[in-house]
Amino acid sequence: MAAVKGSCLCGKVEYEVEDPQTLAYCHCTRCQRWTGSSLAGVVIPKENFHFTKGEELVTRYESEFAPRNFCSNCGSSIYDDLGENYFVAAGLMQDLDLTPSFHMQVAYKANWHDIGGDAPQYAEMPG
């Protein structure tokens, strides 16, 4: 895919993601708490992520393993900072059109979450 735009719930923060290719679900308990469910996101090199509006509203929470970045006005989850890569929440990108590549941290998924589809499921990290 070419560049895809994302926007938070209040619309004050906007960003662009270049060339997203991998859509994954993380079922860890940190993502569950952060989003209210599993986190569906695209994994991209951090240089492929650019804010186009409202970067000053973005707040970082130093969560264990991966700091969380969110809109301080509306609370929308924007991205999870994995270091070299960002895990960017898919729900903010209305034009994103990718088939899920895999589910990770499935060992920690919510009891009520019934995972469907054919994407591979990994108990912890893929590979």
Residues in the site for Zn ion, rule: CB under 5 A? 8, 10, 12, 26, 28, 31, 71, 73-74
CB of 19 to Zn ion, least distance (A): 23
Rank residues 28 and 40 by Cβ distance to Zn ion and give the closer one: 28
**DSSP state for residue 125 in the 8-state scheme:** S
CB of 122 to Zn ion, least distance (A): 12
Please give the backbone phi and psi of residue 86, each rounded to the nearest 5 degrees, phi first: -115, 145
Rank residues 2 and 62 by Cβ distance to Zn ion and give the closer one: 62
Rank residues 2 and 64 by Cβ distance to Zn ion and give the closer one: 64
CB of 26 to Zn ion, least distance (A): 3
CB of 28 to Zn ion, least distance (A): 3
| 3-state helix/strand/coil string of 41-103 | EEEEEHHHEEEEECHHHEEEECCCCCCEEEECCCCCEEEEECCCEEEEEHHHCCCCCCCEEEE
Residues 6+ apart with CB under 8 A from 112: none
Rank residues 4 and 34 by Cβ distance to Zn ion and give the closer one: 34
Cα(36)–Cα(7) distance, rounded to whole angstroms?
19
